[in-house]
Amino acid sequence: MATVHQPPNAPILVSFPDADALVVSLSAFLVKAQKDSIDKKGRFTIALSGGSLPKMLRGLIGNPAVKWNKWQVFYVDERVVSLDHPDSNHRACMEHLFSKVSIPEGNIHHIDTSLLDDLEELSDAYEKDLIREFAQKDSARFPVFDVILLGMGPDGHTASLFPGHELLLEEDRWVAYVNDSPKPPPKRITFTYPVINHAARIVFVAAGKEKATTLRSVLDVPEEGLPSARVKPVYPGQLYWFVDDAAAANVAYPRTPFKL
Ligand SMILES: O=C(O)[C@H](O)[C@@H](O)[C@H](O)[C@H](O)COP(=O)(O)O
């Protein structure tokens, strides 16, 4: 049989029987990534998405191996609403995770809600927060997160990067704004591809049969028009897909057994 040669950092697809099994392994994966990062540089930088993702982090709650005081948390994207608004990704992460663990408040980097009326200022301020944390912005450099966690919408969008939007081509800014999101609410800020693609580990989390068709179009014959298919880590960064068997049902792409 012919050997299929994959590039050294081709996506790694791991599929679990159900969402609960996914949650357990995702938690183990994050604990390992956290340990490697803290051993190397004394901190762990991670960016979180909204949607169902905050709930999928429940395996971290009560886990004594998690060194919350070493975590620096950003949001991959955020809806431009107050922090207690039901649409807020920060609120979802607070409810499902951070209110249940002992993370210092200052380690969670949310949007500056005094700037909700000015999208440009708001996204600039969030970019400045990133620059402060990573302290290395120049024309050629981007922050290197230890982990970026992404979800994928049924239209293939990820973060607030939507099909056909001009932001898919953004190469310079770290954080950009959207005022015409096809999915409500229309106003959002989002990491751009250069930030996402420079992460050491990018992990998509997708569960449920509603993801099956899109996942196939992203992994088997990647359609460049799908924002999720444009997530391509800069080597040596590694892209992982943590999915359940329902989401992977139509996918021919080879599965990798989960191991740490
Ligand atoms: O801002 C949004 O519109 C959502 O947060 C969205 O980006 C979500 O992350 C994906 O649609 C995946 O959603 P699920 O993880 O809930 O399937």
What pLDDT score does 136 carry? Answer: 63
Query: Mean pLDDT throughout 94-102?
Result: 98
What pLDDT score does 135 carry? Answer: 78
- Write out the H or E segment, with its range, that includes residue 205: strand 201-206
Here the tokens at position 198 are 């420079």
The answer to whether residue 140 scores a pLDDT higher than 60 is no
Residue 65 CA to ligand 1 center (angstroms) comes to 28
- Write out the H or E segment, with its range, that includes residue 34: helix 19-41
Residue 53 CA to ligand 1 center (angstroms) comes to 8
Residues lining ligand 1, judged by CB closer than 6 Å?
A: 49-53, 151-153, 183
Q: What percent of the chain has pLDDT over 90?
A: 92
Residue 251 lies in a domain: no
ipTM: 0.95
The answer to whether residue 235 scores a pLDDT higher than 50 is yes
Q: Per-residue confidence at 141, pLDDT binned at 50, 70, 90?
A: confident
The answer to whether residue 137 scores a pLDDT higher than 60 is no
Q: Per-residue confidence at 139, pLDDT binned at 50, 70, 90?
A: very low
Residue 27 lies in a domain: yes
Per-residue pLDDT tens digits for 160-178: 999 999 999 999 999 999 9
Per-residue pLDDT tens digits for 189-215: 999 999 999 999 999 999 999 999 999
Residue 183 lies in a domain: yes
Residue 51 lies in a domain: yes
Residue 57 lies in a domain: yes
For residue 110, the domain's CATH number is 3.40.50.1360
Residue 253 sits at the vertex; the CA angle it makes with 249 and 256, to the nearest 5 degrees, is 95
What pLDDT score does 212 carry? Answer: 97
What pLDDT score does 237 carry? Answer: 96
Residue 256 lies in a domain: no
Among 157, 177, 181, which residue has the most ligand 1 atoms within 8 Å of its CB, making it the best to mutate?
A: 157
Residue 202 lies in a domain: yes
The answer to whether 186 and 178 are in contact (CB under 8 A) is: yes
The answer to whether 206 and 215 are in contact (CB under 8 A) is: yes
Residue 123 lies in a domain: yes
Q: What residues make up the domain containing 50?
A: 16-244
What pLDDT score does 77 carry? Answer: 98
User: Using the 8-state DSSP alphabet, how is residue 75 labeled?
Assistant: E
How many domains, the chain? 1
Distance, in Å, from the CA atom of 36 to the CA atom of 173, rounded to the nearest integer, reads 29
The answer to whether 135 and 90 are in contact (CB under 8 A) is: no
Atom of ligand 1 nearest to the CA of 211: 17
Nearest CA to ligand 1 atom 6: 51
What pLDDT score does 234 carry? Answer: 95
Residue 183 CA to ligand 1 center (angstroms) comes to 9
Residue 235 CA to ligand 1 center (angstroms) comes to 27
Instruction: Say whether 45 sits in a helix, a strand or coil.
Output: strand
Among 80, 90, 152, 244, which residue has the most ligand 1 atoms within 8 Å of its CB, making it the best to mutate?
A: 152
Atom of ligand 1 nearest to the CA of 153: 11
